[in-house]
Structure 1
Amino acid sequence: MEAAPHDPQPVLVSTRDAGVLTLTLNRPDQRNALDHVLARRLLDALSGAAADPTLRVLVLTGSGTAFCAGDDLAATARWRAGEYADTPADPRTHEHLYLAVCRNLLTLPVPVVIAANGPAIGAGLSLLCAADHRIAVRDAVFGTPALRHGHLGDATLLTRTVGPAQATRLYLTGATLEAEEAARIGLVDRVVAAEELPTAVATTAADLAALPPGAFALFKRLREQVLHAPTDVALLLQDRGHHESHRLNGGRT
C-alpha cells in the first residue's frame, strides 16, 4: 500500500522495481516497533501483494539501525491493561497483529526475503522467521524476551525455523544471538557487511524473480500442508503438487 501523498512521514515505505516489491518499516526513532498504524499498513500492503499477479518477490526491511524491535511497548502496555484501541492488536479478537502479518508472509505466493539491516527482537524475530530467505548485516542481533514478560512470544515460528532444542534455549535464556551464530543455527541464511546489504538483496531478489512463476507458490503451499503430516500423506501431496507444477510450466519438470 503506497503512502498517501500528503503523509509527510509514512510509517511504511513501498517501492517497486519490475517484479520486486520492497516494503520498508519506517519508524526509525522507535526502532521500527509495530504500533497499530504500522501493523495495519503492513497487512494492507501484504494483501495487495497477494492479489498482484505480476509480483515475483517481496523484500521486507527496516529503516535506520534496526529491522524491527517488536511490538511498540507503550501500545502493548495498553493492550495488557485491556485497552485494545490503537494497539498492535485486533480490537475484535485481541489477536496481536504481528501474528496476522506472519500468516500473510507464510502464505504469500512469492518468495519473501528479509533484509535484516539491524536487530530483530520479539515480534520482529517472528517476522524474520516467517520469511523464505533471510539476509542479515554483521552487527544485527536476534532474540526473544518473551519469558521475562510471561508470554509465549516467538514459540511457534522460532521452533519451526531453528528446531525445538535451539528455540527452547533461546526462550529460556532470553539470549541475544549475534549474526554469525544466527547463521550457524539456521536463523539467517547469509551474513554480509552493512554496505553490502543492498547489493546482496538486489542480487538475491533478481535470482528469485527469474524462477518459474507459480512454482514457488506451490512449494510454499505444500510446505505448510506437509509440515506435520504423516510421511505417506506428505508424499502424496508432494506428488500432486509436482503434477500441478508440471502443468503450470508447460510440461517442464
Structure 2
Amino acid sequence: MPEAIVARHDGVIAWVKLNRPDRLNAMNEELVKELSEALARAEADETIRVIILHGEGRAFCSGDDLKDLDAQTVSEDATQAWVEAIQQVTLQIMRSRKIVIAAVHGWCVGGALEWVINCDFRLFADNTRWFFPEVSYGFFVTGGVTALLTKQVGPQMAKDLIMFGDRHDAKKALEVGIAWKLFPEDQILAEAEKLASRIAERPAESVAEIKRAINEGFHSSLADAMRIETAATVRGFLSAESQARAKEF
C-alpha cells in the first residue's frame, strides 16, 4: 500500500495524503520518498494549481518514526541521506509554483510540523496538537524553521517553542501565527478545498510569481525584493491574460 498518494480532484487540485495511519503517519524512509515523488508529479502537471497536504486517520503526522531510528543512523552517510531527503521536501514545497495548503488534524510533530510551516496556508483542526521534540532528544530541527519560524514569531518565541518542546493546542498555533485559521476537524478538508478553489480562480502565473517573490523576499534585502517584484510586475503587465482581466475589472 502506498505511503503517500496523489489523487486528482476537479482538474486543478492535487490531494497528497500521508497514509500510515497505524503509525499516526510517522515519517519513515518510504513515506518521505513517496511524498517527494508525489510533490514532483504534482509540480510537473500543468493542470494542477493547488496541492493539499493532509494525513489519513487520527493524525497529520507524528514526526520521525523512532522505530526506524537505527536504520536512519546506521552510518554517517545514511543519516546525511535521511536528513537531506527531509530537507528536499521543504525545498519542493517552498520552491513549488503551486500553492501548497496544509490541512492539519490530530498530532503534528517535529519534521512534519516543519513541513507544515513551509506551506503557503496552514489550516488547523481544533483538535490539533503540535510540538518540536528534536532538542529534547538532542537532535535538531529541519525545514529552514530556524529562519522561517524566527521571522514569523520572533527570536524569543522561536527559542521557546524549539528549545523546550512543550506541547501546544490549535489555539496556540493560531495565536503565534503558525496556523492561518482553525476549523472543526470534520470540516478541515472541505475548508481546504474551498481555499484551493478560490486560489485556482486567480491567474496561475501571477499566483506563482507572488509566492516566489514573498518567499524569497522573506529572506532578502529590500533591493533584492524590489528586483524580484520589478521583474514579476513587468511580466504581469505584458501578459495578455492579465491585461484582459484588468480591463474587465
TM-score after normalising by structure 2: 0.89
User: After the TM superposition, which of the residue ranges 14-23 and 154-163 deviates more from structure 2?
Assistant: 154-163
Asked whether 1:27 is paired with 2:15, we answer no
Q: Which of residues 101, 104, 112 is equivalent to 2:92?
A: 104
Aligned-partner Cα distance in 2 for 1:231–1:215:
21
Asked whether 1:229 is paired with 2:220, we answer yes
TM-score after normalising by structure 1: 0.87
2:87 is paired with a residue of what secondary structure? Answer: helix
More helix by share: 2
Aligned-partner Cα distance in 2 for 1:83–1:75:
15
Asked whether 1:196 is paired with 2:184, we answer no
The answer to whether the 8 A contact 1:116-1:136 is kept is yes
Q: Identity of counterpart residues, as a percentage?
A: 27
Aligned-partner Cα distance in 1 for 2:193–2:224:
37
Q: Residue 46 of structure 2 corresponds to which residue in structure 1? A: 53
Relative to structure 1, is the Cα distance of residues 69 and 161 closer, same or farther in structure 2, using a 3 angstrom cutoff?
A: farther
1:1-253 equivalent positions in 2, closer than 5 A: 9-17=1-9, 18-82=11-75, 90=81, 95-154=83-142, 155-156=145-146, 157-248=148-239, 249-251=241-243, 252=245
Aligned-partner Cα distance in 2 for 1:165–1:238:
31
Aligned-partner Cα distance in 1 for 2:200–2:122:
16
Q: Over residues 145-194 of structure 1, what are the superposed CA-to-partner deviations in whole Å (9 max), with x where a residue is unaligned? A: 11112222144343344332221110122111210110011101111111
- 1:206 Cα shift? 1.0
Give structure 1 stretches of 5+ with no counterpart.
1-8
Q: Over residues 196-217 of structure 1, what are the superposed CA-to-partner deviations in whole Å (9 max), with x where a residue is unaligned? A: 1122112111111111111121
2:83 is paired with a residue of what secondary structure? Answer: coil
Aligned residues: 240
- 1:83 Cα shift? 7.2
Q: Over residues 67-96 of structure 1, what are the superposed CA-to-partner deviations in whole Å (9 max), with x where a residue is unaligned? A: 0111221223332342766x8x62xxx534
Give structure 2 stretches of 5+ with no counterpart.
none
Aligned-partner Cα distance in 2 for 1:15–1:67:
17
Aligned-partner Cα distance in 2 for 1:199–1:250:
29
The answer to whether the 8 A contact 1:218-1:245 is kept is no
